[in-house]
Amino acid sequence: MANKQNGFRILLLEAIHPGAKDLLAREGHTVQLESHSPKEAELVTMLQNFDVVGIRSKTQITEKVLQANPHLLAVGCFCIGTDQVKLDQAKRLGIPVFNAPYSNTRSVAELVLAEIVALSRQLGDRSMMAHRGEWMKSAVGSREVRGKTLGIVGYGHIGSQVSVLAESFGMRVVYFDVIKKLPLGNSQQLETLEDVLRVSDFVSLHVPDTAQTKQMITERELSQMKKGACLINASRGSVVVIPALAEALKSNHLAGAAVDVFPVEPSSNNEKFVSELQGLKNVILTPHIGGSTEEAQEAIGIEVAQSFLGFLKNGSTRGAVNFPNVDLPILHDNSQRMINVHQNVPGVLGEINSIVSKFGVNITAQGLSTDSNVGYLVMDMEGRAEEVSNLVAGLKT
């Protein structure tokens, strides 16, 4: 590792929120903030001068980039997805990859609440008509949400926030989750997905993208929903069969839908968006903006910067997506902390300990966490600086 006293050199790409730079700089690190997303060749060269890199979703940390920069200490994805990083290879090189899975939870929950009210009042259609110069003042089909039942599918970070906000609107909340979850407020966990679909006036999906949730909502599930109910999907595009949803809306079985995520989404703002839901009555379509707020961007910046600090200061890998997660106490003043990443094969720890005793260094604390491929060892040691640096050199050989 580079000398901690002088701080580390951190490159933040793709206009990461400046709050991240401020936080890292306050802790004595040298931070360079760039707004662009370098291509592979540029990145290979650029990273030679940095210890840590932060990216968003566009920059690709490929095998070639990692191979050319094995000195990197950590990679941070200032977003949720980590597909843009070769995670296995980073792990083999001992580079933990961090992300920010929960910084936009509240933003998604607020959008869902807005959509429940908007669907209840056919707000999207009324607004479009008014824009076109049509005056449609009518109460038919417009309802308050107070006293209505919201069914939440997936009672995790977002689902449970939606639950709290919906109750403050006076809604009754029921939910289905594959895990037994503590009900917040007066909400109630039901046994099956069907139980939730049958009683809800609004169904909001908040499940992850897994084999079990792929096409979870088909024609069958839609037919189990109450006539006149509305469906909201701000989870993942693979969860709902879109042609079946379009059919349920056209037949007036459902009164409306709000969809933020799609099976196929344009890769940039310049690409055309096509969906079978376009042009249908009381259907709100949004371009995957559930988590896209300025507050979420700032929170993401702080969340990943804090992961960097925890790792660079203490060796904590909490939240790393490709590494054994170790959350460590703050280092004692008289000690030095050494981090070692090794292949998880039998006998490594014994070998390391015998090297340590050879160099006359006293181990004050030791922790090891492993997964099927790598072992992550943290040792706090007391010894003269020379002994410790001899030991580090000895372990490298």
Contact set with ligand NAI (CB under 6 A): 80, 102, 104-105, 108, 153-159, 176-179, 206-210, 212-213, 234-236, 260-261, 288, 290-291
Closest to ligand NAI by CB, 69 vs 107, is 107
Q: Report the residue number, 232 or 381, with the smaller CB distance to ligand NAI.
A: 232
Work out how close the CB of 168 gets to ligand NAI at its nearest, in angstroms, rounded to a whole number: 19
Beta bridge partners of 338: 379
Q: What is the CA radius of gyration of the chain?
A: 26
Q: How far is the CB of 302 from ligand NAI (least distance, A)?
A: 17
To the nearest whole angstrom, how small is the minimum distance from the Cβ of residue 207 to ligand NAI? Answer: 4
Measured from the CB atom, is 10 or 207 closer to ligand NAI? Answer: 207
Instruction: Specify whether the CB–CB gap between 218 and 244 falls below 8 A.
Output: yes
Tokens of residue 235, six digits: 């989870």
Torsion of CA 359, 360, 362, 368, to 10 degrees: 30
3 vs 269, beta carbon nearer ligand NAI: 269
CB of 286 to ligand NAI, least distance (A): 8
Rounded to the nearest whole angstrom, what is the least distance from the CB of residue 113 to ligand NAI in the complex? 14
Residues designated catalytic: 236, 265, 288
Residue closest to 230 by CA, chosen among 112, 113, 154, 119: 119
Give how far Cα 344 sits from Cα of 30, 352, 371, 375, Å. Answer: 33, 13, 7, 5
Question: Which residue number, 72 or 261, has a Cβ lying nearer to ligand NAI?
Answer: 261
CA atoms of 177 and 179, how far apart (whole Å):
5
In the complex, least distance from residue 182 CB atom to ligand NAI, rounded to whole angstroms: 11
Angle CA 344–345–346, to nearest 5:
125
Buried b (16+ CB within 10 A) or exposed e, 315-350: bbbbbbbbbbebebeeeeeebbbbbbbbeeeeebee
Contacts with 204 (C-beta within 8 Å, 6 or more apart), sequence order: 112, 116, 150, 151, 152, 153, 159, 162, 232, 233, 234
* Cα 200 to the center of its chain, rounded Å: 28
The amino acid at residue 362 is N
Closest separation between CB of residue 175 and ligand NAI, Å? Answer: 9
**Residues 122, 256 contacting (CB under 8 angstroms):** yes
Identify which of 335, 397, 339, 396 has the alpha carbon closest to the alpha carbon of residue 369.
Answer: 339
Cβ distance to ligand NAI smaller for residue 10 or 166 = 166
Smaller CB separation from ligand NAI, 80 or 349:
80
